[in-house]
A = this chain, B = another copy of it.
Amino acid sequence: MSDNDQSLPNAAASMSNSNCGDALPPVGQHTRQYETVRNAHETELIEDYVELIGDLIRHRGEARAADIANRMGVSQATVSKMIRRLNELGLVTSKPYRSLFLTEEGQKMAEISRTRHDIVLHFLRALGVNDNTARIDAEGMEHHVSDETLTIMQRFIDQHAKR
């Protein structure tokens, strides 16, 4: 079933420069790449919400829907709907018209996310990326960085902190 690997006659050409690229990875590996990204996308937004809620509580004493909407650049209706979802997922508790609290599990996720986010951000800065750009890039990259890479980033930060 379509492990179709016989290169066609017109597969040649393209010897112009050394630009043959990296050759396609084996199908199974390739599929796992895309799958991993799809999985990350399912949890991304949730992580950002939970992380933001944690940050608001930490820095401002409470997390209100309006502040979340404001920070995320999204309508309050969108936030309200999302909060219901976070509730169903057991990540936050909320009474109607009151501010939010993270559950145990929510706090755990918030901390993990924040730690990861910080490592990516500090890594980019250590690399020499401008702070504003680093913040923007980190916001997206954080969800696609494996533990292995994270460890290496941390090491890099440490090595560039001394002097």
Contacts and interface: CB of A to CB of B under 8 A. Distances in A.
Contacts of A128: 152
A88 to B, nearest CB: 22
Please state the number of chain copies in the assembly.
2
A140 B31 contact: no
Main secondary structure of the interface of A (DSSP, over half): helix
B137 A149 contact: yes
B139 A58 contact: no
Interface of A: 2, 4, 7-11, 14, 20-25, 27, 29-37, 40-41, 48, 55-56, 58-62, 66-67, 70-74, 114, 118, 121, 124, 127-130, 132-137, 139-141, 143-146, 148-149, 152-153, 156
